[in-house]
Amino acid sequence: TVTLARTVGDGGFERHVVVKRLIRELLGKSEAVKRFLDDARHAALIHHANVVGIHQIGRDDDGYFLVLDYVEGGSLEELVDRSGLRMGTIPPPIALRIALDVLAGLSAAHCAEDVTGKPLGLLHRDVSLQNVLVGRDGVTRLADFGIAKSALASVSTDQKYLVGKLLYSPPEYLARRPVGPTLDVYALGVTLWMALSGAEPWEDANEAQLVAHICQGSFP
């Protein structure tokens, strides 16, 4: 769950932040808690203007929580929807500026190291319209490393399951071949395609048809 909150301090200091918590149903599941803590650990090691920053991790009577930057603005999904309501699409120069910001954030994530200098081998794995936040300050930030994959993660994903959104998954991932940073770049390509077109590729396809389209490389 995600909540808008305020952090306060001496001298009338006040700042909006976001508090992220595990839902109650997951609090008793050790694997979910480990994933949540991995999320915090990874995000805290990425210091970049185009990545939503994490300030702290804490614990209270309701369990663990993260305190993150609050981005005043909207998601790219909201911008695409608003443009569609006005019978238009996002102008290409703006869409490309957004994509360049996300690429810079992804580069910071892919190159991130732990405190000893060891590469994290971090992949976001959920780049999408929903996780690209466009601030009113004109800066785009990549959000939500909740299903990120790292070489140092304490929990591994069962290979029988898909992690992330099917529409944004590259063919090598669906074929269970090794993946690297290009997984996130592919997902950003799909994101940019939808930002420019205002629609989903293969809008009427079911999941099985989506898999076939992606694996055959038949992108519109």
Give the CA distances from residue 108 to residues 99, 117, 121, in Å, rounded to whole numbers and listed in that order: 14, 14, 11
Q: Give the separation between CA 118 and CA 120, rounded to whole angstroms.
A: 6
DSSP label at residue 152:
T
Q: Which of 126, 137, 184, 204 is catalytic?
A: 126
Start-to-end Cα distance in the chain: 36
Planar angle of CA 174, 36, 17, nearest 5 degrees: 115
Alpha-carbon distance of 89 to 106, in angstroms, equals 25
Token pair for residue 174? 């669906």
Tell me if residue 144 is catalytic: no
Single-letter amino acid code for the residue at 160: K
Long-range contacts of 89-98 (CB under 8 A, 24+ apart): 89/195, 89/196, 89/197, 89/198, 90/195, 90/196, 90/198, 92/196, 95/192, 95/195, 95/196, 96/192, 97/140, 98/132, 98/134, 98/140, 98/195
**Which positions are annotated as active-site residues?**
126
